[in-house]
């Protein structure tokens, strides 16, 4: 596992050397299967919670006839990996089993890195949204988003209507608040600035926010936000844990 916030980026790179057409298609298959995981493992807030377990050519993968001794060795490495994860993210971390030093990449550090990365990505999305909303000429000859939001109920397009007046009002208020808020941002009012982390730069590689399918057909995924909000409300009503 990486031991500092800036280490572990290069260790996730995957290169497949080939000299034949079979090797070429094998590399294509490997890329199609693993590129998403490989990209994520280089990201801050992801790479620091991944344990790399080395395997020999005759271990794991498609080696379906491994000896019991080899399976036991792999299982032992898995146990060591679990111990490393448990030590790194313990409530009261001690010494790092990997190097015997004080643990720097604690769970609070992990959460802070993800928080900083999210805000930096949100910064970029919010500024793009503001520019598009304000620049009606960029959307011409199509209607602007403000015109779409302000059209009458029976005017096309009629899909996904805002049936309740309170919902429409909420959308107007939310968008106008966001646009006005982002308009107040200057070069100093940003979540990502400077040429180094000491100057306020966010963790690198800098992530982006994008629309993606949830990866599950479970309808409970759509209610995640409501469930999380309810959980937060419940936690606020619970007695806090004493510190010290």
The tens digit of pLDDT for each residue in 142-190 reads 999 999 999 888 899 989 888 788 999 999 999 999 999 999 998 788 9
Cα gap 66→190, rounded to integer Å: 54
Would residue 222 count as lying in a domain? no
In this structure, the answer to whether residues 138 and 202 fall within a common structural domain is yes
Judge whether residue 239 has pLDDT over 60: no
82 pLDDT band (50/70/90 cuts)?
very high
- Statement: residue 20 has pLDDT above 80: yes
Using CA atoms, how far apart are residues 91 and 81, in angstroms rounded to an integer? 18
Give the model's confidence band at 242: pLDDT under 50 very low, under 70 low, under 90 confident, else very high. very low
Q: Which pLDDT score is estimated for 39?
A: 83
- How far apart CA 151 and CA 161 sit, in angstroms, is 11
Distances (CA, A) of 225 to 93, 211, 230, 241: 31, 16, 9, 25
Would 23 be classed as within a structural domain?
A: yes
Domain membership of residue 98 (yes or no) is no
- The predicted model scores a pTM of 0.77
67 is in which domain, residue-wise? Answer: 10-88
* pLDDT value for 234: 46
Indicate the number of domains in the chain: 2
Residues 155 and 84 in one domain: no
């Amino acid at each position: 596992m990486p031991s500092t916030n800036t280490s572990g980026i290069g260790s996730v790179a995957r290169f497949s050397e080939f000299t034949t057409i079979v090797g070429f298609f094998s590399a294509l298959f490997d890329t199609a299967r693993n590129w998403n995981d490989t990209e994520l493992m280089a990201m801050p807030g992801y790479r620091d919670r991944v344990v790399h377990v080395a395997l020999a050519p005759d271990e794991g993968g498609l080696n379906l006839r491994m000896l019991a001794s080899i399976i036991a060795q792999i299982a032992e490495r898995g146990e060591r990996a679990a111990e490393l994860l448990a030590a790194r993210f313990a409530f009261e971390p001690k010494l790092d089993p990997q190097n015997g030093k004080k643990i720097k990449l604690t769970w609070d550090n992990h959460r802070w890195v993800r928080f900083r990365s999210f805000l930096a990505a949100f910064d970029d999305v919010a500024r793009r949204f503001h520019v598009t909303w304000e620049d009606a000429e960029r959307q011409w000859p199509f209607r602007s988003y403000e015109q779409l939001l302000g059209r009458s109920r029976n005017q096309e397009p009629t899909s996904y209507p805002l049936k309740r007046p309170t919902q429409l009002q909420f959308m107007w208020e939310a968008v106008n608040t966001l646009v006005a808020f982002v308009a107040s941002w200057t070069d100093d009012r940003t979540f990502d600035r400077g040429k180094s982390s000491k100057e306020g730069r966010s963790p690198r590689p800098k992530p982006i926010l994008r629309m993606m399918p949830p990866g599950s057909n479970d309808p409970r995924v759509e209610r995640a936000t409501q469930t999380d909000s309810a959980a937060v409300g419940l936690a606020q009503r619970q007695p806090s844990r004493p510190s010290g």
